Structure 1
Amino acid sequence: MSVLQAVIQLSFWGPIILFTIGVPSVILNVIIFIGVKTFRQSPSSYYIVTQSLFDFGSLLLVFLQIFPSTSINRSSISCKLIIFFSRIVAPCALSFLGLAAFDRWACTSRSARIRKLSSIRIAHCIVSITVIFWSLVSILYLIFYDLIPPTYTCGLTNDLFQKITNFFLAPILGAIFPLIILIVFGILTYRNLHLMTTINGQQQSVPTRLSIWERQITRMMIIQTLLNVSCTLPQCIFLIYTIATVQQRAMKSLNQIYIEYLLAQLCGYIVSLDFASSFYIYFLSSSRFRQTTKMYLKRLLHLGNDQVTPFNISASTLPVTATKTHYRQN
């Protein structure tokens, strides 16, 4: 198989595979983190739900590119709109993952002042500000992206904005900076969690049920951060390579251009794995999350016998109630 054939096959099957495994992940994330009361009380759950919605938007935009009628090169309007929305949903999804990492750091901090930053009200404000920020940045793409003759492929029409995109927006703001944020807050959260475990062990205290759930979510977010770093790192390396060889573009052969395009596709799909796999990571990394998911889905789908537990609880309390009544009568 030639490099060009590999590019064509990857362009067709890559979006289908990502969309197939990503949609169930998004749906289950929304159902579990909204439906389960314990998760719903955590600000990180709000970030996870909003991230899942924008993950679905990213996967949908990638999936639509396999259809000629919705291709990015179909018309000037489709070129502008697809680029515009892709520059909103993908950065927002990555930003919400970073905000969830920040929330885990604030939640596990020993400082009461920092712990106040972990709240639903603050999460609502930050999510709105993040969406507005990336929407304003994406307006520039809406203006400067269009079909470029003679090939009429979708691309930037402004040289200055193209340099800003190549040297700042794509590598720094879109890849390296979020990666640094995730690494820093992931390390700080792990440190806070380790200190919390050490202090509880020395004091021989029993953590509350809510704190146990908070620790589970924190571990899940740390593992999700490690996955995101692993998925984003190849793209960062490829962007650095692209910037370093931008002056040699005219000297590259056609086969070399195809190879670089294939590598760009692979890096893009590896990053998209993070959009499609969050629920699976949570499910595999936490036994408590697995149990909660199974119990909630059984109750939601009316599977199993839900009346066993209430009946046993009532039966077990009958002797106690009778004893108390007899005692009051005496």
Structure 2
Amino acid sequence: MIRMRELHKSFTVRVKAGRFRREKRTVAAVDGVSLTIGRGEMVGYIGPNGAGKSTTLKMLTGVLTPSSGEVSVCGLTPVPQRTRLALRIGVVFGQRSQLWWDLPLRESFALLRHIYRVPAGDHAARLRRCRELLDLDEFLDTPVRQLSLGQRMRGELTAALLHGPEVLFLDEPTIGLDVVSKQAVRSFLAELGATGDVTLVLTTHDLADIERLCERLVVIDHGRVVHDGSIEALHTRYGSRRSLVADLEKPLPDGFELPGASLTAVTANGHRVTFTLDSATAGAAVAGLVAAVPVRDLSLVEPDIEDVVARLYAER
């Protein structure tokens, strides 16, 4: 569905080069990105501020012309075939709106049906599904300017899907949302992705979105891809390890060692311990701990993806 081959985008900026002089400098926003994304994939595309994420999305949607390289979306070249491409993709930018500010949400959806020339039956069926999954009914007749941010974002997602796009680009879709609204948006996108009908590309700084929705993670930094694979592969690459947290009936014996695990924290007067699993499996670690001391409760803590990505950025 999406192909990028040695994709570059550079901008010319003027920088101060003396007291009264400025000189031109070329800045590479995207520097040789090559990716292939298949039908139905859900891909997280992340990076620090200024890494080139939004620039990439703008080239994929036909807003910006690449400086060099090749790009195709749905078999189309985005800029010269932008009008045809618009009928086959959906776009949600967290800071931009495609809804009419003074119109009720229902009328915005009706206008979009005519803009995209969607048959009435198809439009009604898609709108019905979005109304059910995103709980739109209570504010369908409310002007967009009176909607809360969470309500408007649910409306934006619906607007992007009413014409039946094959690819959905999401740029910070949960930015500024409260916990309840985030959960509603994530659940909707997860169900949408489970059907395999829509290819989804998600850029966000909220890594919980990535963990919840995406099996594949692409990390870009200074315009270049520095990781392309699963979240598990990223953890493996940077040595992330799970932790075993146990509440004990009594403190551990002096000098206690758990094979394949390291004791990293002791709190609550020795009654709570944390082990980092180096080579031991969770089952073996639990069995070894229970055999040594009575355990009141325990939990297995997965490594935090935010810590891993922060270390990746710092290393770069």
Which structure: greater strand fraction? Answer: 2
Q: Bigger relative contact order, structure 1 or 2, given CA contacts below 8 A and separation 6+?
A: 1
Which structure: greater helix fraction? Answer: 1
The TM-score by the shorter chain falls in which range? under 0.3
TM-score under structure 2 length normalisation: 0.21
